[in-house]
Amino acid sequence: MTHINIPPDHPRAESLTIREKLVERHLEGIVAASGLIAHGRGEAFDYLLGEKTTRPASKAIRAAAAMLLTAENPVISVNGNTAASVAEEVVKLAEIAEAKIEVNLFYRSLERVLAIKKLLEKAGARQVLGVGKRASARIPELRSERRRVDPRGIMAADAVLVPLEDGDRTEALVRLGKKVIAVDLNPLSRTAQKATITIVDNIVRAAPRLVQAAQKLKEQGVEKCREVLLNFDNRKNLAESIALIDENLLKKFSRESTRTVSERD
Ligand code: ATP
Ligand code: MG
């Protein structure tokens, strides 16, 4: 069910197609209304990053793959936007890293959880945690519905991949001693700042790259993963992403001012 016809040669075709998909998934009860707004916030940062996977993002993706592969009990936390955008990649990554998949929502309802579970199963997931009464454990100090977690999943995890997370929960998970990998286009958000590894990239681009990196590192072995992790500095990496936004803005500004001058001539 597509509502508008997006011409393939439209300069923003890719971004419009993603929007359409999210709107459809919203109508199906998978993406929350606020998920659409959150996507808009992400788009703004993506624009400033040049809508591509940057060098610092690639480095963070490799480190994230290494962290998942070396974890004892890795878990991928899935919300509506993540399921709507990259369900297949989530399933592939879980297989490669032997990670569990858990649904965790800010706006939790049994219908939404079940709809997301169904979508993940359609993409090949064999087990989906966090469904119904199974989400019986609580993350201390969190008030939103996101505090409900599965005792076999996030509660027992040593490393959690949390795409499109909010700052509160990232902080709470870190306080519980978990390693947190965030995917967030906004390098300034609390999520980005608090996570152990932050991938500043669009989940749509980052997820397939994460699958590829995990596949390759798995072949290279545990020692290689340890080396990648030792050489990764999240603070430095975030600073590099922020510097890139700065550069892009400066470039744009100088282009605009040159045009104004030549137009005046
Ligand atoms: P925080 O609580 O961490 O400060 P926030 O309140 O800014 O975060 P929310 O609105 O709770 O964030 O969640 C949306 C976040 O997800 C935004 O920071 C946005 O940049 C990011 N985001 C949205 N869509 C995507 C996407 N497709 N890929 C990566 N990040 C995204
Ligand atoms: Mg928030």
Would you state the pLDDT for residue 259?
Answer: 61
Mean pLDDT of 11-28: 91
What lies within 8 Å, CB to CB, of 71 at 6+ separation is 97, 99, 157, 158, 159, 179
Mean pLDDT of 128-135: 89
Type of residue numbered 93: L
**Which CA distances in Å does 248 have to 54, 94, 197?**
12, 35, 23
pLDDT tens digits, residue range 133-169?
Answer: 888 888 886 777 778 889 999 999 999 999 988 888 8
* Residue 177 φ/ψ region, left for φ over 0, alpha for ψ in the -120 to 50 degree band, beta for the rest: left
pLDDT tens digits, residue range 183-214?
Answer: 999 999 999 999 999 999 999 999 999 999 99
Gap from CA of 1 to ligand 2 centroid (Å): 31
Residue 6 has pLDDT above 90, yes or no: no
Is ligand 1 within 6 A of the CB of residue 184? yes
Give the dihedral sign, CA 21/27/32/37. Answer: positive
Would you state the pLDDT for residue 232?
Answer: 98
Q: What is the mean pLDDT of the chain?
A: 92
Bridge partners of 100, per DSSP, are 75
pLDDT tens digits, residue range 67-98?
Answer: 999 999 999 999 999 999 999 999 999 999 99
Q: Which residue among 166, 173, 183, 198 has the greatest number of ligand 1 atoms within 8 angstroms of its CB, and so is best to mutate?
A: 166
User: What does the alpha-carbon distance between residue 151 and residue 176 come to, in Å, rounded to a whole number?
Assistant: 13
Specify the residue for token string 């454990």: 137
End-to-end CA, the chain: 51
pLDDT tens digits, residue range 96-120?
Answer: 999 999 999 887 889 999 999 999 9
Selected residue with higher pLDDT from 165 and 30: 30
Would you state the pLDDT for residue 264?
Answer: 47
Mean pLDDT of 6-14: 81
Selected residue with higher pLDDT from 54 and 257: 54
Highest mean pLDDT among 35-49, 146-160, 241-255: 35-49
pLDDT tens digits, residue range 46-65?
Answer: 999 999 999 999 999 999 99
The ligand placed nearest to the CA atom of residue 190 is 1
User: What does the alpha-carbon distance between residue 109 and residue 246 come to, in Å, rounded to a whole number?
Assistant: 40
Is ligand 1 within 6 A of the CB of residue 167? yes
